[in-house]
Homo-oligomer: A and B are copies of this chain.
Amino acid sequence: MADIKKADRKLKYWGWGYEDAGLDGDQTKALLATFADGFGINPSRDGAFPTLDAIELPKCRLEAPASLEDVCTDDKFERVYHAFGQSQPDSLRTYAGDFDHAPDIVAFPETERHIAEIYEWAGKTNAAVIPWGAGSSVVGGVTSDVGSKYNGVISVDMGRMNKVLEVDEVSRAARIQGGALGPDLEAQLKPHGLTLRHFPQSFQHSTFGGWIATRSGGHFATLYTHIDDLVEATTTVTPAGDIVSRRLPGSGAGPSPDRFVALGSEGALGIITEGWARLQGRPTYKATAGYRFTDFFDAARAVRAVSQAGLYPANVRIVDGTELQVNGAGDGSFTLMVVSFESADHPVDAWMERAEECCLDHGGTVDVPWRDNPDAHLQGAVGAWRTAFIRMPYNREQLTPRGIISDTFETAITWDRFEEFYGAIKDATQSAIRDVTGHDGAVSCRFSHAYPDGPAPYFAFHAPGDPQNMLAQWQELKTRASDALIKHGGTITHHHAVGRDHQKWYEQQRPALFGDVIGDAKKRLDPKGVLNPGVIVG
């Protein structure tokens, strides 16, 4: 098999991003001090992730056919790297050296034909196929643990199909391959003065195809922030053939193919090899402001007012006191609201002025003013939060070895039910932490997105774990939080996707008969059931 070299910078198999990126010593100290001082959460161990040498892999059970030899490898690092995504249990199992389920082969297809050949091969040998964008799933969507029904596992890394193939500057759209990473596709669009402007927190290590498969939500809080709305057409390669939708700005011809076989399909129906995406001009006018609220619900009402005003800010986001404190951006005494507008076309003053009125009307006070302040996004609590937000994905690799449980979950709910819902979810999570760990832990909340009819609350929880039992502890916490989400009318996921970790609750949330319809689609498109078993179709 081929000796496959990746980019110059080596990726971590035990955490987020490249080996040379992460928290430095001082940042780690500060993080641990925040937990200890603010919440009484102290390390319960001081361990380390296993080295590559120390990890034992089962023997590779598969041999690539000749036509795929050049794009397949059983290299140890690749098998280890592709065994897990970025979830809390992924981190815990990596720490434990639990790699029995690692993929036998990692394939790096370069063409649709390669993918079709992988399906054929998998069908013949009864191997599972795990589509892999860049492995940023926090819900077990790429974890190659498929049980004993398969004779092998092939992780299909789309990293070589990473080009922007065509740019249409007139319509502002581009044809982009599924394996293009966020930064790579933006770099290819930049010379055209255009941007996809889709910035999920995973931006650096997630792909265009992965965004579509998981119905990704971007950093922006309103309007065109979901990949759903940015997709003009898709090409999905399934074991039964290709599904290529027509490139159209809008269509009312029957149910949308993009919205069924591509968006939300999570690798269970096919692999999205390319798509046409809607682009925007690169913003030149920007304004950001920060407001403090002593009451979290007042802040939520301000978000509602701005969301229902038809202003469509780039951001309208609140971060509760605990979430600020956990991230070193506040002392816990206030909720922060960030509002920002951007435009490639016109000054945004009129928009910003009206949004500020909404914030002040609901009891906000200015933390960072927007007028004549181009650096607002770097100042005060706004800037501190921004720095923490960018750094956040690197925290877990420091916390897992120290026995601190650290996870997030996110949902959406209509405004009428929000306050009760927020209380119920927070209580359920907090009491679960007390029951499971004997400590209070920290449960915090921010809004990731805001709609006229409701917010998307994003919860984080931290607790000191029992080193011998952390995976089971996490599972219990996850179960009780997820049960509460479903019971109180939320969605099990707003933009993190279903994956293996949410499948049980997804099946409760999804209308049963619609589940049957998806099952039929699975049988039609993936008749041998090789694609991402256990995800979307149970």
A residues near B, CB below 8 A? Answer: 168, 170-173, 214-217, 226, 232, 238, 240-257, 259-261, 263-266, 278, 280-281, 304, 308-312, 343-346, 349-351, 354, 412-416, 449, 451-456, 489-498, 502, 506, 509-514, 516-518, 520-521, 523-525, 536
Q: Is the CB of B416 within 8 A of A514?
A: no
CA distance A304 to B171 in the complex (A): 8
Q: Is the CB of B249 within 8 A of A453?
A: yes
Q: Is the CB of B514 within 8 A of A260?
A: yes
Chain B residues, CB < 8 A from A250: 217, 226, 412, 449, 451, 454, 456, 491, 494
Q: Is the CB of A255 within 8 A of B260?
A: yes
Q: Is the CB of B454 within 8 A of A511?
A: no
Which 6 residue pairs across A and B have the least CB separation, nearest first?
Answer: A249-B454, A350-B350, A215-B252, A249-B451, A251-B491, A309-B345
* 24 A-B residue pairings within 8 Å (CB atoms): A168-B414, A168-B416, A172-B308, A217-B250, A232-B453, A238-B513, A241-B512, A242-B511, A244-B511, A247-B489, A248-B454, A249-B453, A250-B454, A250-B494, A253-B492, A253-B498, A253-B509, A256-B260, A281-B308, A309-B346, A350-B350, A516-B524, A517-B525, A520-B523
Q: Is the CB of B257 within 8 A of A259?
A: no
Of residues A311, A489, A520, which shows the largest number of chain B Cβ atoms within 10 Å of its Cβ?
A520
Distance between A282 CB and nearest chain B CB, rounded to angstroms? 12
- Which residue of B171, B240, B452, B506 is within 8 Å of A415 (Cβ)? B171
Q: Is the CB of B510 within 8 A of A278?
A: no
By beta carbon, the residue of chain B nearest A514 is: B257
Q: Is the CB of A264 within 8 A of B252?
A: yes
Q: Is the CB of A252 within 8 A of B493?
A: yes
Distance between A397 CB and nearest chain B CB, rounded to angstroms? 26
Q: A344 with B310: in contact, given A252-B496, A493-B252 (CB under 8 Å)? A: yes
Q: Is the CB of A514 within 8 A of B243?
A: yes
Q: Is the CB of B414 within 8 A of A171?
A: yes
Distance between A512 CB and nearest chain B CB, rounded to angstroms? 8
- Which residue of B263, B351, B412, B524 is within 8 Å of A517 (Cβ)? B524
CA distance A105 to B490 in the complex (A): 42
- Which residue of B249, B263, B349, B521 is within 8 Å of A412 (Cβ)? B249
Q: Is the CB of B259 within 8 A of A491?
A: no
Distance between A367 CB and nearest chain B CB, rounded to angstroms? 23
Q: Is the CB of B513 within 8 A of A254?
A: no
CA distance A168 to B260 in the complex (A): 29
Q: Is the CB of B344 within 8 A of A514?
A: no
Q: A454 with B171: in contact, given A449-B250, A513-B242 (CB under 8 Å)? A: yes
- Which residue of B249, B256, B412, B523 is within 8 Å of A414 (Cβ)? B249
CA distance A261 to B511 in the complex (A): 11
Chain B residues, CB < 8 A from A495: 252
Q: Is the CB of B520 within 8 A of A524?
A: yes
- Which residue of B217, B240, B249, B511 is within 8 Å of A257 (Cβ)? B511
By beta carbon, the residue of chain B nearest A234 is: B511
Chain B residues, CB < 8 A from A215: 252
- Which residue of B246, B346, B455, B491 is within 8 Å of A489 (Cβ)? B246
Chain B residues, CB < 8 A from A240: 513
Distance between A97 CB and nearest chain B CB, rounded to angstroms? 32
Distance between A259 CB and nearest chain B CB, rounded to angstroms? 4
By beta carbon, the residue of chain B nearest A417 is: B171
CA distance A414 to B245 in the complex (A): 14
Chain B residues, CB < 8 A from A510: 253-254, 257
CA distance A436 to B285 in the complex (A): 55
Chain B residues, CB < 8 A from A514: 243, 245, 257, 260-261
Chain B residues, CB < 8 A from A309: 343, 345-346
Distance between A319 CB and nearest chain B CB, rounded to angstroms? 19
By beta carbon, the residue of chain B nearest A214 is: B252
Chain B residues, CB < 8 A from A310: 280, 343-346
Q: A171 with B490: in contact, given A253-B509, A264-B253 (CB under 8 Å)? A: no
- Which residue of B255, B491, B521 is within 8 Å of A265 (Cβ)? B255
Q: Is the CB of B511 within 8 A of A517?
A: no
Q: Is the CB of A525 within 8 A of B513?
A: yes
Chain B residues, CB < 8 A from A452: 171-172, 249, 278, 280
CA distance A249 to B303 in the complex (A): 14
CA distance A214 to B523 in the complex (A): 27
Q: Is the CB of A243 within 8 A of B513?
A: yes
CA distance A445 to B244 in the complex (A): 29
* Other contacts beyond A249-B412, A251-B493, A259-B259: 16, CB < 8 A: A170-B415, A171-B452, A172-B453, A226-B252, A249-B456, A250-B449, A251-B491, A252-B493, A252-B495, A253-B506, A253-B509, A255-B263, A310-B343, A310-B345, A311-B346, A350-B350
